[in-house]
Amino acid sequence: MGLSLYVKQQAGLLSLGGLSLLGAAARNFGGVAVACDPADYGLLVAELREHGHVSAEVRQRLAAKAFAVLSAYQGEVAAYLDHIGGVRFPEQLSLVLRKERDLPYGENPQQRAAFYRETTHRTRSLADAELLQGPQPTFNDLIDLDAAYRVASDFASPTCAIVKQRNPVGLASHDDPREAYRRALAGDPVTAYGAVVAFNREVDESVARELVLNPFEGVAALAFSAGAMALLAGRPELAVLRVPAPPPDGLSDYGIAELDFHRIEGGLLVETRDALDIDHAQLHVVTKRRPTLDELTDLMFAWRAVRHITSLAVVVARGATLVGIGAGQSSRLSATEIALHRAADRAPRAVLASDAYFPFGDAIALAAERGITAIIQPGGSIRDEMAIEIADRHHLAMVFTGRRHFRH
C-alpha cells in the first residue's frame, strides 16, 4: 500500500529535512506515492477510493513532479550562489521555469504550446501581467506584447509602442500619452491593423477612447483608469493586461533572468542582455557639421529604438516619432530604402539610425537625397572615411556611437 507524503513549501523554498524526505519518497515511487502539491490530494483520494491503492502510473507521475520540485529548488540555489559569486556562465547552467498555463497552440495551429515563467526573474514584466479583460493572449500575441512593452518601457518619457511580428510598426514619445499614441499610430496605420500596443504610463479615458477605434489584438500598460476600462469593455475581444510596477524592495534578477537565449539544434546559445549604456558624452561627431539640439534629441530616440528592430535594421525618426522602419533585411541599403520609402514625405528634416555600420556609402547618399539631415551609427567600417566624406558632401551631421546593436 502506497504512502502519501506532502512537503510544505514557503516562498519556493524547502527545508533541508523536507528535501530529504521528498527525495527519499520519490526515489521509492515503486511502493510510495509522494505528493508535493496540495492540488494532487484529490487525485490520491480518488485513487484510494476507486482501487484501494495508488496505481503505478500515478505514483510515477507524482515522483516525476517531486523530482522536478527538487531540481528547481537546487537550480535556484545554484543560480543565486553563482550570482553573488559573480559567475555569469557556470559549467552547468540550470534553467528553472514554472508552468503558468497551457496555450491553445503555438506559432501555428498544429503546434502545441505552454507558457513558463522564469523563477529567478524578480523585476516585474509581462510574465507578471494581470489580464483585466478579454481572452488569454495567444503564443504570438505574447511574443508581440512582450516586445511592445519592453520597447515602451525602455524610454523615460511617456511612450507608446505598436508592435507586429516582434517589430515596432509605430513608436513615439510625448509628454501627453494620447499624443504619443496618435503619433505612433500615424507611423504606419495600415500595418498596425491587428497589432498589439503598449504604454509605459497609465492608460486614461482619453487614450482608451481612441484605442477602441482600432482593431488591436491586445494592449499592455502599467495601469488603466476606471474610465478607460469602461470604454475598453466595449471591445470584449481585446486583451487588456496590466503590468505591475517594479517592486521597491530592491530584489534583483539572477540566474537565467539576466541572460538571453537562442535555440540551435541540440543546444542553446547564451548571451548577456544587450544594454544601451550610452549618453551624449560618449557620442563622437565625425562630420564637419554638428547636429543641432533637436537633431541630437531625435538621434538618441532613433538609436534607442533601432536596437529593438530585427537586424539588419534602419529607422527614420522625427519629433521623437518613428516615421520609417526597415527591418530584417540582408543588406544595409535595402533596409535604408524600405525605411525611407515608408517615411515618404516625412523624411525631409528627419534623422536616421542604423544598428550597425554602413559598409558602403550608397545608403548615406540615398538618405541625403531624401532629405535626412543627421545619421547615427556605430562606425567601425574600413570605409568609414568614405562614409564621412559623403556625409560632409551633403552637409549631413553624422555621429558614431562605437557600439552596434544586432538583433537576430
Q: Read off the pLDDT of residues 222-255 as tens digits, 9 standing for 90 and up.
A: 999 999 999 999 999 999 999 988 766 666 788 8
Q: Give pLDDT tens digits for 150-176.
A: 999 999 999 999 999 999 999 999 999
Among the listed ranges 5-19, 66-80, 179-193, 303-317, which one has the minimum average pLDDT value? 5-19
**What is the pTM (predicted TM-score) of this model?**
0.87
How high is the pLDDT of residue 332?
Answer: 94
Among the listed ranges 121-130, 162-171, 310-319, which one has the minimum average pLDDT value? 121-130
Q: Which amino acid is at 16?
A: L
- Among residues 406, 164, 408, the alpha carbon closest in space to that of 306 is found at 406
How high is the pLDDT of residue 17?
Answer: 59
Identify the bridge partners of residue 377 per DSSP, sorted by sequence position. 400
Residue 22 CA: distances (Å) to CA of 5, 14, 44, 98, 227: 8, 10, 16, 19, 50
**What CATH architecture is 120-242?**
3-Layer(aba) Sandwich (3.40)
pLDDT at position 288 over 50 = yes
Q: Which residue has the higher pLDDT, 250 or 126?
A: 126
Q: Which amino acid is at 226?
A: A
Residue 317 CA: distances (Å) to CA of 37, 69, 383, 401: 53, 49, 25, 17
Look up residue 56 and give its three cell numbers: 503505478
Residues 187, 191, 192, 196: is their CA dihedral positive or negative?
negative
How high is the pLDDT of residue 351?
Answer: 98
**Domain assignments of the chain as residue spans, ordered by start:** 4-84, 120-242, 280-400
Q: In 28-173, where does DSSP find H-type helix?
A: 41-51, 56-84, 139-153
Largest CA distance in the chain: 89
Band (15; pLDDT cuts 50, 70, 90): low
Domains 120-242 and 280-400 share a fold: yes
Candidates 3.40.50.1380, 3.30.565.10, 3.40.50.620, 3.90.650.10; correct CATH number of 4-84? 3.40.50.1380
β-pair type (130-133, 113-118): unpaired
- Among residues 161, 162, 158, 160, the alpha carbon closest in space to that of 176 is found at 158
pLDDT at position 221 over 70 = yes
How high is the pLDDT of residue 5?
Answer: 43
Q: How far apart are CA 198 and CA 28, in angstroms?
A: 50
* Chain length of the chain: 408
Q: Tell me, which fold does domain 280-400 have in CATH?
A: Cytidine Deaminase; domain 2 (3.40.140)
How high is the pLDDT of residue 250?
Answer: 60
Among the listed ranges 10-14, 84-88, 164-168, 268-272, which one has the minimum average pLDDT value? 10-14
How high is the pLDDT of residue 278?
Answer: 75
* Percent of the chain at pLDDT exceeding 90: 73
pLDDT at position 10 over 70 = no
pLDDT at position 294 over 80 = yes
